[in-house]
Amino acid sequence: MLSKKTKYAFHALTYLAENQDKGAVLIQEIASSKNISHKFLENILLELKKAGILGSKKGKGGGYYLIKKPEEITLAKIIRLLNGPIAWLPCVSLNYYEKCSDCPDEATCNMHIIMCQVRDQTLAVVENKTLSDLITSNN
């Protein structure tokens, strides 16, 4: 299941994508529009900024804005950033790889093979869907 953090991130990004003409948007505006705690959203937007997805402007008239085009931001990127690994096992993760303690040999582990398939099927969707697929008013 996706965490609330992840869902909030999608909501915020969607809002920003739909209001790109506005320039910098206040955290508060996103928070109240999407029913998210201001301070919690603050952390999320900061993470998205550090990941190079959002830009920000401080002081009066400041706020957050998209730094990339919506069609360049894949769902996979957001999910990995805020939700963690997409794979079901660490030994199968492309971005968060870790050796499985219980599995003696990945090459011969049947679980490993199947979990690779699950991962690839999932990635086939979320690597090819972007923020632009989430926007409703898609002019």
Partner DNA sequence: CACAAAACCTACAAACTTAGTAGGGTAATA
Partner DNA sequence: TATTACCCTACTAAGTTTGTAGGTTTTGTG
DSSP code of residue 130? B
Other CB atoms within 10 A of residue 29 CB: 14
* 62 binds, options DNA, a second copy, none, Cβ within 5 to 8 A by partner type: DNA
Other CB atoms within 10 A of residue 101 CB: 8
Closest among 72, 123, 73 to 93, alpha carbons compared: 123
Among residues 2, 22, 32, 95, the one that binds a second copy under rule CB under 8 A: 2
* 69 binds, options a second copy, DNA, none, Cβ within 5 to 8 A by partner type: none
User: Helix count (H) and strand count (E) of the chain?
Assistant: 5, 2
Q: What string marks each residue from 44 to 83 as x (binds DNA by CB under 7 A) or -?
A: -xx--xx-----xxxxxxxxx-------------------
Tokens of 71: 């069609």
Q: Which stretch binds a second copy (CB under 8 A): 24-32, 39-47, 55-63, 85-93?
A: 85-93
Whichever of 4 and 129 has its CB closer to DNA, that residue is: 4
> According to the binding rule CB under 8 A, does residue 15 interact with a second copy?
no
